Amino acid sequence: MIDFTEVNRKYFDQLATTYQDRFARAVKTITEQTQQHRLWLSDRWTDTAAGQGQEVKMLEYACGPGTVSMALAPFLTNVVGIDVASNMVDEYNRNAQAAGLGEKVTGHVADLLAESVPAEFSGPEFNDFDVVTVSMALHHFEHPDQALKRLAARLKQGGVCYIIDLVAQASHGHGDDHGHDHGHSHGHTHRRQSLDLDDAAATIKTHGFSRADMLNLFEDAGLTVGFEHKVLSEPLELTKDGKAITKTVFIARAQRV
């Protein structure tokens, strides 16, 4: 049986120091789209009436080098990044320091989806977040449904879960069809849209999510308020063997009751 957590940890540990250069265009797109959709995502920031003068916290899980963290940190009082790959967390903390955000942006190594989570991650600094985000990582999780339940439990009442990931391409009996298995039966199949870069395919469990997938995942996690889903008009641009590859992505949000 494949241990997806360990496969991902090894892969992203090796990729950490080259990630931002290798995926520079994709990082730029995610940064810009996140900043442009900030008020769509939430009305609670340090510069808005709902959050001004208050603590506004965010958790970025599977944070990598912290693309979303760095994009939104100027509008937050505290940002926590957590990843299973220690080298990625080192990059996250270096990026925070380089951006002058080290006092309020901190990365940690942990697996919050493990059967047993270290006790130090149960304290108040790791709970009651206003925003929990997973960017381009949900498709790497072995059980996306369980992951969202675990992460949603760390939101405060009314807190928002923000997901960025690959769009599942609807298909009709083509040879590359396959079904998703993440705890839901949606009555349709999806075409693969994996990142498929070098050995990255081995780290991927689910090849994209539809709007219906995300609605079901959110609802099962108790995120039943304010569901919004938007396919971005600007695709992510990646490079493999000197050739440009584009991937269609979505952003989705929903709130904890």
CB 181 within 8 A of CB 207: no
pLDDT band at 227 (very low <50, low <70, confident <90, very high): very high
For residues 63 and 30, give the distance between their C-alpha atoms in angstroms, rounded to a whole number: 13
Token pair belonging to 169: 């391409």
Each residue's pLDDT tens digit, 88-135: 999 999 999 999 999 999 999 999 999 999 999 999 999 999 999 999
For residues 82 and 73, give the distance between their C-alpha atoms in angstroms, rounded to a whole number: 15
Token pair belonging to 32: 């810009």
Residue 195 has a pLDDT of 45
Residue 1 has a pLDDT of 60
pLDDT band at 238 (very low <50, low <70, confident <90, very high): confident
CB 218 within 8 A of CB 248: no
Sheet architecture: strand order including 169-170:
169-170, 190-191, 177-178
Helix (H, G, I), strand (E, B) or coil at 150: helix
* Domains of the chain by residue range: 4-255
pLDDT band at 80 (very low <50, low <70, confident <90, very high): very high
Mean pLDDT of 75-98: 97
Rounded to the nearest integer, the mean pLDDT of the chain is: 87
Residue 6 has a pLDDT of 86
Residue 123 has a pLDDT of 94
Which letter does DSSP use for residue 100 in this model?
A: T
Which letter does DSSP use for residue 190 in this model?
A: E
**DSSP E strands: which ranges in 35-183?**
57-61, 78-83, 105-109, 129-135, 155-166, 169-170, 177-178
Residue 93 has a pLDDT of 98
Residue 180 has a pLDDT of 34
Q: Which CATH number fits domain 4-255: 3.40.50.720, 3.40.630.30, 3.40.50.150, 1.10.10.60?
A: 3.40.50.150
Phi and psi, residue 115, nearest 5° = -60, -35
Taking Cα atoms as reference points, which of 172, 145, 135, 159 lies closest to residue 250? 135
Tokens 């995502």 belong to residue:
41
CB 56 within 8 A of CB 62: no
pTM recorded for the entire structure: 0.87
State the helix-helix crossing angle for 4-15 and 86-98, rounded to 10 degrees.
40
Q: What sections of the chain are H helices per DSSP? A: 4-15, 19-22, 24-36, 38-41, 67-72, 86-98, 144-152, 211-220
Residue 209 has a pLDDT of 96
Phi and psi, residue 186, nearest 5° = -105, 0
Q: How much of the chain is helix, strand and coil, in % rounded to 5?
A: 35, 25, 40
Each residue's pLDDT tens digit, 136-164: 999 999 999 999 999 999 999 999 999 99
Each residue's pLDDT tens digit, 172-220: 333 333 333 333 333 334 544 544 445 577 677 778 999 999 999 999 9
The rounded percent of the chain whose pLDDT value lies above 90 is 71
For residues 77 and 226, give the distance between their C-alpha atoms in angstroms, rounded to a whole number: 24
Range scoring the smallest mean pLDDT among 49-63, 102-116, 229-243: 229-243
Taking Cα atoms as reference points, which of 145, 12, 129, 9 lies closest to residue 60? 129
